[in-house]
Amino acid sequence: MDIWAHHSPIQAPDQTRRRIRRLQLGLTMRGGQGAARALVLQFTNCRILRGGALLREDLWVRGGRILDPEKLFFEERRVADEQRDCGGCILAPGFIDVQINGGFGVDFSQATEDVGSGVALVARRILSHGVTSFCPTLVTSPPEVYHKAPEAASLPEAAGDFVIAPSLDVHSSNWFVVLPQIPVKSGGPHGAGVLGVHLEGPFISREKRGAHPEAHLRSFEASAFQDLLATYGSLDNVRIVTLAPELDRSHEVIQALTALGICVSLGHSVADLGAAEEAVRSGATFITHLFNAMLPFHHRDPGIVGLLTSDQLPPGRHIFYGMIADGMHTNPAALRIAYRAHPQGLVLVTDAVPALGLGNGRHTLGQQEVEVDGLTAYVAGTKTLSGSITPMDVCVRHFLQATGCSVEAALEAASLHPAQLLGLEKHKGTLDFGADADFVVLDDSLHVRATYISGELVWQAEETRQ
């Protein structure tokens, strides 16, 4: 299974081989020899999102994958072992959140002794929002969060499971290291799958840092990719890196990251359109929360926003852009402009902060404090927005209502487009035959009724639990 189709066929470095192996282990453990004998599930009385349309079809699942029923009928001469009536609901691919900083009191960027259980808690709780895969996001943090300093005591190797780091004196420089404790992991009843970490910073612009702490911003003008590696340590668990392309030597870095199969995103930047286009030609494919933390659109220099309609991009490629459709980070009119300019690239993200799912009050984000007031979160003491606390399904509903787009388009913005961004569209974000059976059951108003991962029910709304 080649999920890294855009990889160079030339021998990949060790890191990449390990990443491929880990992802393959995670994503291909379903299927295989036992699959043919597995139970065949048929979800009836539903509309499924397939090929960009809602079809009145049944969804067949076997061995954690979507099954082709015609093939089953004519080749294997089998019928379903179990039928489940979906009550006329919509079955959509599970949502994929590529930018989420934490939630339910958990801050991914904060070094604690047990990062793993924090990630697991969030992974479990976001199932109720319809999210079946996500990229835990680390904001700009001190280097110790990314990798251990050489003099620190050695930590047990993360072997694919979350480990509890031994307790160390927090007053010393031996902080708990976060990044190695967030490995790629398949989803299941325990929670949504981790596709890899999204590193948002520290290679970003000073002027557009937003809520990121200024003290830990860095650049890579000294030795480009080596600087980046020195900051992050290992890139094994990394899936997306957000950086500012106007930084010197960013092109080398972007090229090196792209060659490793890591998605490069442009954000927290004051780049003009020319620099942004150059970055895309070097391999960048994503824009982090469009409009926020970048220069505003100007008719003589559209800046990064101009990438949506740029004709200078490599042929056959288009840019993806994240949007926080919570009604606050972007004015609905701006959301509509972006959507109408480039509907195929819109990726819904939550950019959720640890206050997601909690009540009003003060909470911690990265190295700073934030204040939650109703549906808004600010950097404590200022009026700077500090991420969103809107769940993904609420974002989908708001997006649908604000843009007046079709239900199919709204659902694809939260599932298919992020999968395409990450090169996973054959297995995630789709209900095509052979894809992973990660899907969400929605009623007509797009409220989540149930969530399935690998064809297994992992969450169900209260009123349907009878």
Partner 1 sequence: RRPRRAGVYIRVLSFALRAPVGVAPRWPCVGCARRSSVGRASGPAGLNFLSWKLCITTMRLVILDNYDLASEWAAKYICNRIIQFKPGQDRYFILGLPTGSTPLGCYKKLIEYHKNGDLSFKYVKTFNMDEYVGLPRNHPESYHSYMWNNFFKHIDIDPNNAHILDGNATDLQAECDAFEKKIKEAGGIDLFVGGIGPDGHIAFNEPGSSLVSRTRLKTLAMDTILANAKYFDGDLSKVPTMALTVGVGTVMDAREVMILITGAHKAFALYKAIEEGVNHMWTVSAFQQHPRTIFVCDEDATLELRVKTVKYFKDPPPIVQIEPKP
**Active centre residues (catalytic):** 351
Q: How many CB atoms lie within 10 A of CB 165?
A: 23
Closest approach of Cβ 55 to partner 1, in Å?
A: 11
How far is Cα 429 from Cα 418, in angstroms, rounded to an integer?
7
Residues that bind partner 1 (rule: CB under 8 A) add up to a total of 12
β 439-442/82-93 pair status? antiparallel
> For residues 17 and 73, which CB has a smaller minimum distance to partner 1 in the complex?
73
Closest approach of Cβ 42 to partner 1, in Å?
A: 10
Burial of 11 (0-12, 13-18, 19+ CB in 10 A): exposed
How far is Cα 107 from Cα 115, in angstroms, rounded to an integer?
9
Closest approach of Cβ 79 to partner 1, in Å?
A: 6
Window 48 to 107, contacts with partner 1 (CB under 8 A)? 58, 68-74, 76-79
> For residues 57 and 278, which CB has a smaller minimum distance to partner 1 in the complex?
57
Closest approach of Cβ 461 to partner 1, in Å?
A: 28
> For residues 37 and 77, which CB has a smaller minimum distance to partner 1 in the complex?
77
> For residues 70 and 85, which CB has a smaller minimum distance to partner 1 in the complex?
70
- Write the CA distances from 135 to 194, 230, 323, 426, integer angstroms: 6, 22, 15, 18
Is cis: bond before 343, omega within 30 of 0? no
- Which residue is listed with tokens 């494919």? 285
> For residues 79 and 153, which CB has a smaller minimum distance to partner 1 in the complex?
79
H/E run at residue 70: helix 69-71
How far is Cα 287 from Cα 346, in angstroms, rounded to an integer?
10
Spatial CA neighbour of 343 closest among 267, 423, 405: 405
Window 198 to 257, contacts with partner 1 (CB under 8 A)? none
- Which residue is listed with tokens 């106007």? 246
> For residues 76 and 444, which CB has a smaller minimum distance to partner 1 in the complex?
76
The amino acid occupying position 260 is L
How far is Cα 125 from Cα 136, in angstroms, rounded to an integer?
13
Quick note: the x/- pattern for partner 1 over 5-44, rule CB under 8 A, is ----------------------------------------
Closest approach of Cβ 81 to partner 1, in Å?
A: 13
Closest approach of Cβ 48 to partner 1, in Å?
A: 13
Burial of 378 (0-12, 13-18, 19+ CB in 10 A): middle
Take residue 422 and report the two structure tokens written for it: 């990450």
Take residue 233 and report the two structure tokens written for it: 């340590």
Residues that bind partner 1 (CB under 8 A): 58, 68-74, 76-79
